[in-house]
Structure 1
């Protein structure tokens, strides 16, 4: 059931994409991490498909079940008061109708936005017409529910490096504009994009541009000046935390508990924080 609070959150999240400034969207992997981001002052949060998969002991790429994703999203939405967008990967379905039905269930769990991507496990991209059918189905869901949730259409041209720099750009530009014409509210082009590429994409795509935090170009002020509206951090927070957990576990196995004993986040502090 869609609530009035959810409608308010959807409106807030939609408006964030229309403002002439960039916002950073942190990607959570469980309810606890979502709470951490909310209490850090972020205006909205998103899920990380990879982060959720790692938290469930799996690799990324729709290796978990839709029901597992749904449960995590429901727990997140119950614990935070800010808008929550969901990385639905390819939609966990083989048809646009199936994607629409799954999106409806995620809305009922509390989501107010979705990523839908075109990257396939074999390193290629889904046919463009098929992606447009998925976006059209989500637009229909908007109309049917009356909820102004955000459709963030992702092309994995750069992420999968399907055609080299010049080819990736042409594909991302063509697909991005086709996604926008089909009703996408935002176009997501993840990858290690240089400043020049970001500038050309922001200028050429007829929709708010979403990029991912990366080592090639990550100057927040310049990204905003170039026209980026949404900066995702992807699985990097989850990988950061799991990287520390791996170091801690190896040290503990070797008989060194110093990392555990040195934490300043005490039992009492943790209970107070999550209360």
Structure 2
């Protein structure tokens, strides 16, 4: 059952993609990380398939199961009041109507946005016609559930480097515009994109653009001025967290040094206060 509160969050999340302020959206991997993002003042939160996979001890790439994702969705909804978008990878099915069913279950759990990608684990892109059928099928849920959730359609042309830089740009633009016509609300073009590439995408895509934080161009104010609608942090936060955990573990094993565990201000009492909010 879709609640009135969920419909309000969905409308709020939609609005974030159509105003003059770029939505900076962090990607959580469990309820705890989502709670941190909420406490620190973000306006919405999305999940990261990579982060959820890592938290379960797997590599990324369609290895986790839909039940895992559904459980994380419910856990985040239980503790966080922000609009929540779920990374559905390729929809956990090839059949468009099975994808629709899977996403319907995620929305019924409380999500107000989904991310659907066309990049396959083998490094290729799904056939564009299949991806359009998936988006069209998903779009039917808006009326069926009376929920204006956000469909963020991702093309992995740059992410997977399927062709030359020029070919990747052409594919990203073609697919993005086709996705928007099929019912997507926003298109996501992740990858190592420098400023001119982002300008080119913005000039040729007829709808809101979502990019990902990357080392080639990460000037938040600059991205805002260019007209990027949504910037994802992606797996950056979870990788930074695990990098620190790995470093700390190495210091303990190799040097017998536990100083990094105690030389900080996040005490047991402070942690309890923080997560009690």
- TM-score, normalised to structure 1, is 0.99
Q: Which residue of 2 aligns with 1:110?
A: 110
SS of 1:137's partner is: helix
- Given that residues 24 and 230 in structure 1 are in contact (C-alpha distance below 8 angstroms), is that contact kept between their aligned partners in structure 2? yes
Q: CA deviation at 1:203?
A: 1.3
SS of structure 2 residue aligned to 1:231: strand
Indicate conservation of the 8 Å contact 1:186/1:209, yes or no: yes
Measured in 1, the distance between the counterparts of 2:58 and 2:170 equals 33
After TM superposition, the structure 1 = structure 2 runs for residues 26-175 of structure 1, keeping only pairs within 5 Å, are 26-175=26-175
Segments of 5+ residues of structure 2 without an aligned counterpart are none
Aligned partners of 2:220 and 2:271: how far apart in 1? 31
Corresponding residue number in structure 2 for 1:225? 225
- Paired with 1:225 and 1:200, the residues of 2 have a C-alpha distance of 14
Contact 1:152 1:187 in 2 (8 A): yes
Off by >3 Å, runs of 4+ in structure 1: none
Distance 1:220 1:270 in 2: 30
Structure 2 counterpart SS, 1:114: strand
1:259 aligns with 260
**Corresponding residue SS for 2:230:** strand
Instruction: Report the equivalent of 1:237.
Output: 237
Shift of 1:93: 1.1
Please tell me the root mean square deviation across aligned C-alpha atoms, in Å. Answer: 0.7
| Preserved CA contact (<8 Å) 1:203 1:227 | no
SS at match of 1:14: helix
| 1:7-26 correspondence to structure 2 within 5 Å | 7-26=7-26
- The Cα shift of 1:264 comes to 1.4
- Matched ranges for 1:198-217 at <5 A: 198-217=198-217
* d(CA) in 2 for partners of 1:71, 1:23: 26
Q: How far 1:250 moved relative to its partner?
A: 1.2
Please say if 1:273 is aligned against 2:267.
no
CA displacement, residues 2-24 of structure 1 (integer Å, 9 cap, x when unaligned): 11111111010000001122110
Displacement of 1:226 in angstroms is 1.5
Deviation at 1:98, TM superposition (A): 0.8
Secondary structure at 2:52 match in 1: helix
**More displaced, 13-22 or 254-263?**
254-263
CA distance in 2, matches of 1:52, 1:263: 26
TM-fit CA distance, 1:225: 1.6
Deviations 1:113-133 (Å, cap 9, x if unpaired)? 000000011111000000000
- In structure 2, what is the Cα distance between the partners aligned to 1:223 and 1:267? 38
Query: 2-side partners of 1:94 and 1:229: how far apart?
Result: 29
Taking the aligned partners of 1:78 and 1:11, their CA distance within structure 2 comes to 20
